[in-house]
């Protein structure tokens, strides 16, 4: 029984391919169709996840502030997000007349697309990965940095001073924090000896990398917060300063797309953190796909907890922190890891 | 060390994450209002002597009244009284200055209306207040002050009876009430209820003047309800019903 | 070197940090502020003109709407001015009650200052905790006057109603809890490194500039000038209490916060002493129903409001209404220092400066 | 109070009978002609330490305006009231901005609501009311009917 649940999704896809082949479809085609279905599943997972996540964020913020949070629609208010999404869907899509029209219109779509693409390489359980790229981590980091362009498009296309300021901030911030983010993952890559995410998970059979690389885990969390534009690093939005930054002119579903994409990124980054540092889908008793969900949500709780505790950092401090603290620390960490590996191999070999 | 302040903050927020939530869930749970809370302003029409001090003290012209001379007594009497709540600042000046003590604030704070006109509250003179039927002198107030003849006599009698009963009730409640319930103990319980809730007292007195049997029934019902409540309170600890 | 264009952006009047209708025209070079010009008047209600058409007693509730965050203080200032004008002696007990209500208002105002500073810096939770603690003061206001925010409790010659029985225990327990509250703000906000970095050294105001620009109240004391009207010219019965006037040293945003934080503690001390000394007795002096001060008399009376020197200048023409009433509003004058403290800083510092100068626009615009 | 005495003696020595000392129970003051205001302010600030201008306001007496200045000396904890009459038909007064920068907004407010023009003010514009507003509402002849 346990085995059945564990391999539930893998069995399903195997059965599906077998069924297609029995209908006379060639294997290559069947694989293609499966890929398409997998992609649709990812979108589904994302949407479900986000509804839960936005609800959760409100609950966490409420609980921290001694409020019950949303509690009107459905049990514990779980349908609140759905109601909000419906509301945003039915709202008028206002496009200000002075905007750079096409840039303005495509920015949210691009943002969302990039965010969804991140999920392709994430292992969501044992043998559950859409594409197991041999440069999976590299793919993830490089795609992640593309979201800057979408934000810049939104800020530029809006033709609004607040939006522009927000977009400029976001570019400066993302470029600065891209480096410590990548560097903090390097230590793990050095130990695992691979950029393939499934290899990295497999390398944590005995020991999670969070124990071997605690500093890298911390720097990853910090730079990921900055990459996600979340508090205390939410410069590009900075509600109290820039009203809504790059999103100021967006309304209705276009605004919702930005909003959703941010949460999509949050899930992706948290899932990556649990894959790389917390042993991925590995864990006792429960099926692997449940483990990754539990770990991801735990990491996300840390993100939320920090957001609702800290004030926003100042722009110049933010840059200084990246260049003067995070990057040196991550570099030292890499050197230390190299030494450690050398000594370890020297003893072992 | 750098960072301890951040961790301390996180410890505080985590502590509150698990603490009791303090939000009042308003429509289901009414907020605990203090005794002096100023909600909606209202007037006890019967007590008003139409002196007009309230309209003069009001800083915002919220209050206005319409009066007329009574033909028989040559006294001023109130025809209608208007409270335009939308301009009220709840400053309490009218309440403090009312010589007849007939303006009050109650605890009703749900005053929003869909139309601006609905905010204005107009009190008309109730017909039974005109003790002697008079056809002249009240023509300007229209339907409100032209009671049907005959009814006034009866209403007047009843009014007097109620008043007498009320004073008796105030003086010695147990004695009056023991006629309507089985024993003295029940009468005492009923007296307590009536003292706590004026509206119940008025209800019972009205019934006493009207229909003795019905009054008895209602009195017994009140006592039984109270007894039950006391019992359940004994089980569930002390609970104060908040009004 | 790239040539950069100047960017003018309007912070407010509709902006999350505009504190209720403030409009700041910020001239930026990138994120660096070249100038920040405040524009006021968006909530102007012409209170001074209204006063000329109301009797002295009728105008009392309007004054509560000036500094609505420390609601009793402007009312106390007004009634004391009228009492000076008409030569009315206030009973002892009423004086003590006024002190207690006034200091509670000051605490409420400062708590909201800390909270709104927190939310302007992005720490939403700080606001909620401050609001929660301020709620207890609001409950006490409701207990005494029946109104929470705009309590019209003071009357010319005394107060409206005596204290209810449950008030004194409530105040005592609140004053007892002040150190606990401060400790929590300390843990969540002041101790936070990000919070300190956002405030320390930001928006410096020199003592000379502060005096020249007429800055008063906690903002002046943050610059290192020991000037508190409660000590300099004790009004009411402030000379009977033992309290300290907290003074800053650098005049930056951090000092402005710390001075207010310390003032909460000192106000607690004053309330404690007032509760000890408060006598029983009358709460309202005999005041003629129609108050007609002497013709041609004028009085300027000032009190230490939550934001600074709150003064009333009233001219009487012998009638039942003031001939002229002028409010010297601390927020209005303090806002003049905003360009001074903002120039050369970053855009984000403007928000900090608005929050720490603590203007309340109901008072600035009148 | 001796220093306060010295102030009165000093200014009445300089300006003689142009100065009228006001009897006030709470606030000692002088009434001076409008045109010597800058000189007297200069003297008060530089020689007598009145470094703080708390309040400027004006009263419309229908035949004349009265400007009212409340001035403090902050370390000395002294205060002084200065009043000056302004002509009703041609309301012009010298500005005090050069002496106390805090006069800036307060004079703008007086101009805005009372309509007294201050000569030498760097930026005499309406401050509380919109720029296109007509009339000065605190004047007694301002119509309250919209």
3-state secondary structure D105-128: HHHHHHHHHHCCEEECCCCCCCCC
Is A192 inside a domain boundary? yes
Distance to chain B for A227, nearest Cα, Å: 20
- Would you say residue A251 lies in a domain? yes
Side-chain-side CA neighbours of residue B116 (13 Å): 1
- Distance from the Cα of C120 to chain A's closest Cα (Å) equals 6
Say if D109 falls within a structural domain: no
Mean pLDDT for A201-226 is 82
Residue boundaries of the structural domains of chain C: 7-365
Between C92-120 and C167-185, two packed helices, what is the crossing angle to 10 degrees? Answer: 30
Q: What is each CA distance from A54 to A111, A262, A304, C336, in whole angstroms?
A: 18, 11, 11, 42
Q: Which of A66, A243, A313 sits opposite C194 (nearest CB)?
A: A313
Closest CA of chain B from C38, distance in Å: 31
Q: Is D77 on the interface with C (CB under 8 A)?
A: yes
Joined tokens for residue C314: 């009233």
Q: How confident is the model at residue B146 (pLDDT cuts 50, 70, 90)?
A: very low
Contact predicate D92/D117, CB 8 Å = yes
Is the pLDDT confidence value at A250 over 70? yes
Residue B137 has pLDDT above 50, yes or no: no
Percent of chain A scoring above 70 in pLDDT? 95
Distance from the Cα of C124 to chain A's closest Cα (Å) equals 7
Q: Is the pLDDT of residue B231 over 70?
A: no
The pLDDT of residue C107 is: 92
b/e B130-140 (16+ beta carbons within 10 angstroms → b): beeeeeeebee
Identify the CA nearest to B134 among candidates B69, B207, B209: B69
Q: How far apart are CA A133 and CA A137, in angstroms?
A: 9
- How confident is residue B156, by pLDDT bands cut at 50, 70 and 90? low
Structure tokens at B239: 């609970």
Using the predicted structure, report yes or no on whether residue A95 has a pLDDT greater than 70. yes
Q: Which residues does C contribute to its contact with D (CB < 8 Å)?
A: 40-41, 44, 46, 48-49, 53, 84, 211-214, 216, 225, 227, 232-233, 298-302, 309, 311, 313, 315, 323-324, 326, 328, 332-333, 335-336, 365-366
* Residue B89: strand, helix, or coil: coil
Residues C279-292 have pLDDT tens digits of 888 888 888 777 88
- How near does any CA of chain B get to the CA of A139, in Å? 33
In the predicted structure, residue B235 carries a pLDDT above the cut 60: no
Which stretch, A128-137, B113-122, D1-10, has highest mean pLDDT? Answer: B113-122
Q: What is the pLDDT along chain C (366 residues), one digit of tens a residue?
A: 466 778 888 887 878 777 778 888 888 887 788 888 888 888 888 888 888 888 888 888 888 888 888 888 999 999 999 888 888 888 888 889 889 999 999 999 999 999 988 888 888 888 888 888 898 898 888 888 888 888 888 888 888 888 888 888 889 999 989 998 898 888 888 888 888 888 888 888 888 888 888 888 898 888 888 888 888 888 888 888 888 888 888 888 899 999 999 999 999 989 989 888 888 888 888 887 778 888 878 888 888 888 888 889 998 888 888 888 899 889 888 888 888 888 888 888 888 888 888 888 888 888
The answer, for B141 touching chain C at a CB cutoff of 8 Å, is no
Q: How many Cα atoms occupy the beta-carbon half-sphere of B54 within 13 Å?
A: 28
**Residues A170-186, mean pLDDT to the nearest whole number:** 86
Closest chain C residue to the Cα of A239, Cα to Cα: C16
Between chain A and chain C, the number of residue pairs with CB atoms below 8 A apart is 77
Q: Quick one: closest CA in C to B8, which residue?
A: C187
Check residue B145 and give its pLDDT: 41
The confidence score (pLDDT) of residue B150 equals 46
Q: Report the share of chain B in percent with pLDDT over 90.
A: 0
Residue D82 bridge partners (DSSP): D30, D69
Using a CB-CB cut-off of 8 Å, the residues of chain C touching A238 are 122, 348
Mean pLDDT of chain A: 82
In a domain, D136, yes or no: no
Whole domain around residue D23: which residue ranges? Answer: 2-91
Which pLDDT score is estimated for B157?
65
Mean pLDDT along residues B38-49? 83
- What is the third-level CATH fold of B41-145? Alpha-Beta Plaits (3.30.70)
Q: C-alpha angle with apex B102: B96 to B106, nearest 5 degrees?
A: 80
Chains that touch B (3 or more CB pairs under 8 A): A, C
> Which of D31, D72, D132 should be substituted to probe chain C, the one whose Cβ sees the most C Cβ atoms within 10 Å?
D72
Query: Within a domain: residue D138?
Result: no
Please give the model's pTM, rounded to 2 decimal places. Answer: 0.80
Is residue A308 assigned to a domain? yes
| Torsion sign across C-alpha atoms C162, C166, C170, C172 | positive
Is C214–D74 a contact, with Cβ atoms under 8 angstroms apart? no
Helix (H, G, I), strand (E, B) or coil at C229: helix
Residue B239's pLDDT is 42
Residues A273, A180: Cα–Cα separation, whole Å: 14
Quick one: fold of C7-365? Cytochrome-c3 Hydrogenase; chain B (1.10.645)
Q: What are the residue ranges spanned by the domains of chain B?
A: 41-145, 151-235
Q: How many domains does chain D have?
A: 1
pLDDT above 80: residue D22: no
The answer to whether C348 touches C216, Cβ cutoff 8 Å, is: no
Question: Average pLDDT, stretch D73-81?
Answer: 81
Q: How confident is the model at residue A342, as a pLDDT? A: 83
| Nearest beta carbon to residue B92 from set C152, C189, C195 | C152
The answer to whether the beta carbons of residues A121 and A197 sit under 8 Å apart is yes
Of D74, D130, D142, the CB nearest to C211: D74
Would the pLDDT of D6 be above 70? yes
Give residue A214's pLDDT band: very low, low, confident or very high (50, 70, 90): confident
What pLDDT is attached to residue A1? 61
CATH number, domain of D54, equals 3.30.460.80
For chain A, list the contacting chains (3+ Cβ pairs, <8 Å): B, C
- Chain C closest-CA separation from residue D118 CA (Å): 18
Asked if the C-beta of D146 comes within 8 angstroms of chain C's C-beta atoms, the answer is: no
Query: What's the pLDDT at B138?
Result: 43
| Torsional sign, CA B135, B140, B146, B152 | negative
Cα torsion through A222, A227, A232, A234, rounded to 10? 170
- Top pLDDT among C71 and B132 is at C71
Residue B50 confidence (pLDDT) above 70: yes
> Is residue A3 scored above 50 in pLDDT?
yes
Enter the tokens of residue A239. Answer: 């509600």
Q: Provide the domain limits for residue A185.
A: 94-348
Q: Quick one: what percent of chain B has pLDDT higher than 70?
A: 70
Among the partner residues B10, B19, B23, nearest to A309 by beta-carbon distance: B10
Q: Quick one: average pLDDT of B106-134?
A: 77
């Amino acid at each position: 029984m346990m085995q059945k649940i564990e391999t539930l999704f893998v069995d399903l896809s195997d059965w599906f391919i077998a069924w297609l082949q029995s209908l006379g479809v060639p294997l290559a085609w069947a694989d293609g169709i499966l890929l398409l279905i997998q992609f649709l599943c990812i979108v589904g997972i994302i949407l479900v996840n986000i509804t839960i996540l936005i609800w959760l964020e409100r609950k966490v913020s409420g609980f921290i502030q001694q409020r019950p949070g949303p509690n009107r629609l459905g049990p514990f208010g779980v349908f609140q997000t759905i109601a909000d999404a419906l509301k945003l869907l039915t709202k008028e899509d206002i496009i200000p007349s002075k905007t750079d029209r096409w840039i303005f219109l495509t920015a949210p779509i691009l943002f969302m697309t990039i965010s969804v693409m991140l999920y392709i390489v994430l292992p969501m359980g044992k043998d559950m990965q859409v594409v197991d790229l041999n440069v999976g981590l590299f793919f993830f980091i490089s795609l992640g940095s593309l979201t800057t362009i979408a934000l810049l498009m939104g800020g530029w296309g809006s033709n609004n001073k607040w939006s522009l300021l927000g977009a400029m901030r976001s570019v400066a911030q993302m470029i600065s924090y891209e480096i410590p983010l990548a560097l903090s993952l390097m230590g793990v890559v050095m130990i695992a000896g691979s950029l393939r995410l499934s290899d990295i998970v497999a390398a944590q059979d005995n020991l999670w990398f969070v124990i071997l690389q605690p500093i890298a885990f911390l720097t990853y969390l910090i730079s990921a917060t900055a990459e996600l534009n979340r508090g205390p690093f939410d410069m590009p939005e900075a509600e109290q300063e820039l009203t809504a930054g790059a999103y100021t002119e967006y309304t209705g579903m276009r605004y919702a797309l930005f909003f959703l994409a941010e949460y999509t990124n949050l899930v992706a980054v948290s899932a990556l953190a649990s894959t790389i540092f917390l042993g991925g889908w590995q864990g006792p008793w429960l099926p692997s796909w449940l483990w990754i969900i539990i770990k991801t949500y735990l990491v996300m709780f840390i993100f939320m907890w920090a957001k609702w505790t800290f004030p926003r950092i100042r722009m110049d401090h933010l840059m200084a922190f990246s260049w003067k603290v995070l990057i040196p620390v991550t570099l030292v960490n890499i050197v230390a890891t190299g030494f450690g590996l050398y000594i370890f191999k020297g003893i072992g070999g | 060390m750098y960072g301890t302040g951040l961790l301390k903050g996180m410890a505080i927020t985590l502590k509150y994450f698990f603490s009791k939530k303090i939000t009042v869930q308003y429509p289901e749970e009414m907020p605990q209002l203090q005794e002096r809370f100023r909600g909606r302003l209202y007037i006890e029409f019967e007590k008003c002597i139409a002196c007009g001090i309230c309209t003069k003290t009001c800083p915002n012209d919220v209050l206005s009244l319409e009066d007329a001379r009574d033909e028989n007594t040559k006294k001023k009497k109130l025809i209608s009284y208007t409270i335009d709540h939308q301009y009220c600042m709840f400053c309490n000046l009218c309440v403090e200055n009312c010589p007849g003590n007939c303006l009050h604030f109650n605890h009703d704070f749900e005053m929003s209306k869909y139309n601006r006109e609905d905010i204005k509250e107009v009190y008309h003179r109730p017909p039974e207040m005109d003790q002697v039927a008079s056809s002249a002198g009240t023509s300007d107030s229209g339907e409100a002050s032209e009671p049907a003849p005959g009814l006034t006599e009866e209403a007047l009698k009843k009014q007097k009876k109620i008043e007498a009963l009320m004073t008796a009730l105030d003086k010695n409640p147990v004695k009056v009430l023991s006629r309507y319930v089985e024993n003295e103990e029940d009468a005492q319980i009923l007296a307590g209820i009536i003292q706590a809730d004026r509206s119940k007292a008025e209800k019972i007195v009205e019934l006493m003047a009207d229909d003795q049997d019905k009054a008895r029934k209602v009195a017994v019902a009140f006592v039984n309800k109270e007894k039950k409540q006391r019992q359940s309170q004994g089980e569930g600890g002390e609970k104060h019903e908040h009004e | 070197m790239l040539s950069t264009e100047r960017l003018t952006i309007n912070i407010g009047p509709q902006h999350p940090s505009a504190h209720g209708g403030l409009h700041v025209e910020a001239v930026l070079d990138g994120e660096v502020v070249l100038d920040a010009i405040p524009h006021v008047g968006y909530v102007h209600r012409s209170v001074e003109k209204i006063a000329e058409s109301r009797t002295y007693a009728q105008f009392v509730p309007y004054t509560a709407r000036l500094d609505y965050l420390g609601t009793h203080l402007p009312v106390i200032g007004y009634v004391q001015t009228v009492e000076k004008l008409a030569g009315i002696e206030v009973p002892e007990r009423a004086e003590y009650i006024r002190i207690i209500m006034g200091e509670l208002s000051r605490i409420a105002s400062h708590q909201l200052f800390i909270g709104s500073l927190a939310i302007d810096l992005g720490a939403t939770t700080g606001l909620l905790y401050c609001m929660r603690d301020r709620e207890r003061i609001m409950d006490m206001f409701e207990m005494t006057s029946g109104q929470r925010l705009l309590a019209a409790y003071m009357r010319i010659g005394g107060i409206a109603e005596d204290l209810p029985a449950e008030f004194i225990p409530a105040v005592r327990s609140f004053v007892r809890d002040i150190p606990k509250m401060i400790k929590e703000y300390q843990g969540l906000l002041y101790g936070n490194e990000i919070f300190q970095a956002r405030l320390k050294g930001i928006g410096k105001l020199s003592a000379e500039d502060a005096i020249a620009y007429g800055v008063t109240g906690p903002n002046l004391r943050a610059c290192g000038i020991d000037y508190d009207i409660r000590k300099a010219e004790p009004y009411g019965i402030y000379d009977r209490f033992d309290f300290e006037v907290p003074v800053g040293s650098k005049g930056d945003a951090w000092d402005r916060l710390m001075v207010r934080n310390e003032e909460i503690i000192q106000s607690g001390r004053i309330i404690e002493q007032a509760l000890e000394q408060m006598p029983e007795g009358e709460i309202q002096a005999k005041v003629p129903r129609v108050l007609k001060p002497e013709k041609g008399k004028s009085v300027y009376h000032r009190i230490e409001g939550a934001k600074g020197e709150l003064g009333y200048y009233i001219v009487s023409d012998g009638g039942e209404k003031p001939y002229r009433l002028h409010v010297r509003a601390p927020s209005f004058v303090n806002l003049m220092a905003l360009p001074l403290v903002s120039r050369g800083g970053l855009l984000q510092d403007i928000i900090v400066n608005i929050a720490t100068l603590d203007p309340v626009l109901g008072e600035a615009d009148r | 109070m001796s220093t306060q005495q010295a102030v009165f003696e000093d200014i009445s020595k300089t300006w003689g009978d142009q100065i009228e000392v006001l009897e006030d129970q709470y606030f000692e003051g002088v009434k001076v002609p409008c045109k010597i205001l800058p000189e007297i302010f200069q003297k008060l600030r530089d020689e007598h330490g009145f470094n703080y201008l708390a309040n400027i306001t004006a009263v419309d007496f229908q035949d004349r305006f009265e400007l009212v200045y409340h001035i403090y000396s902050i370390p000395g904890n002294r205060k002084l009231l200065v009043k000056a009459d302004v002509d009703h038909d041609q309301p012009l007064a010298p500005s005090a901005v050069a002496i106390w920068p805090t006069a800036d907004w307060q004079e703008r407010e007086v101009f805005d609501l009372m309509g007294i023009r201050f000569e030498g003010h760097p930026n005499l514009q309406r401050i509380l009311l919109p720029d296109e507003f007509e009339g000065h509402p605190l004047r007694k002849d301002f119509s309250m009917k919209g």
